[in-house]
Chain A
Amino acid sequence: GENVEQHPSTLSVQEGDSAVIKCTYSDSASNYFPWYKQELGKRPQLIIDIRSNVGEKKDQRIAVTLNKTAKHFSLHITETQPEDSAVYFCAASGGAGNMLTFGGGTRLMVKP
Chain B
Amino acid sequence: GAGVSQSPRYKVAKRGQDVALRCDPISGHVSLFWYQQALGQGPEFLTYFQNEAQLDKSGLPSDRFFAERPEGSVSTLKIQRTQQEDSAVYLCASSLNSGANVLTFGAGSRLTVL
A residues apposed to B, CB below 8 Å: 6, 32, 34, 36, 42-46, 49, 89, 93-94, 97-105
Contact in complex: B105, A43 (CB < 8 Å)? yes
Residues in A whose Cβ lies below 8 Å from that of B4: 43
Residues in B whose Cβ lies below 8 Å from that of A44: 43, 91, 105
Please tell me which one of the listed residues A6, A34, A89 contacts residue B43 in the complex, with CB atoms under 8 A apart. A89
Q: In the complex, A99 Cα to B59 Cα: how many Å?
A: 10
Q: Count B interface residues, CB 8 Å.
A: 28
Interface pairs (20), CB distance under 8 Å: A42-B107, A44-B91, A46-B104, A49-B102, A89-B43, A93-B99, A97-B58, A98-B31, A98-B50, A98-B99, A99-B45, A99-B48, A100-B33, A100-B100, A100-B103, A101-B45, A102-B42, A103-B42, A104-B41, A105-B42
Q: Which residue of B lies closest to A6 (CB)?
A: B42
Contact in complex: B42, A34 (CB < 8 Å)? no
**Number of A-B pairs whose CB atoms are under 8 Å?**
61
Please tell me which one of the listed residues B33, B91, B98 contacts residue A99 in the complex, with CB atoms under 8 A apart. B33
B108 lies within 8 A of chain A by Cβ: yes
Q: State whether A99 and B56 are in contact (beta carbons under 8 Å apart), knowing that A43-B107, A43-B108, A105-B42 are contacts in the complex.
A: yes
Residues in B whose Cβ lies below 8 Å from that of A89: 42-43
B101 lies within 8 A of chain A by Cβ: yes
Q: Shortest Cβ distance from A65 into chain B, in angstroms?
A: 20
Instruction: Tell me whether chain B's interface is mostly helix, strand or loop, or mixed.
Output: loop
Residues in A whose Cβ lies below 8 Å from that of B104: 46
B106 lies within 8 A of chain A by Cβ: yes
Chain B 21-58 against A: per-residue CB contact (8 Å), 1 yes, 0 no?
A: 00000000001010100001111110010100001101
Contact in complex: B41, A105 (CB < 8 Å)? yes
Please tell me which one of the listed residues B40, B43, B99, B105 contacts residue A45 in the complex, with CB atoms under 8 A apart. B105
Residues in B whose Cβ lies below 8 Å from that of A104: 41-42
Q: In the complex, A70 Cα to B15 Cα: how many Å?
A: 46
Q: Shortest Cβ distance from B52 into chain A, in angstroms?
A: 15
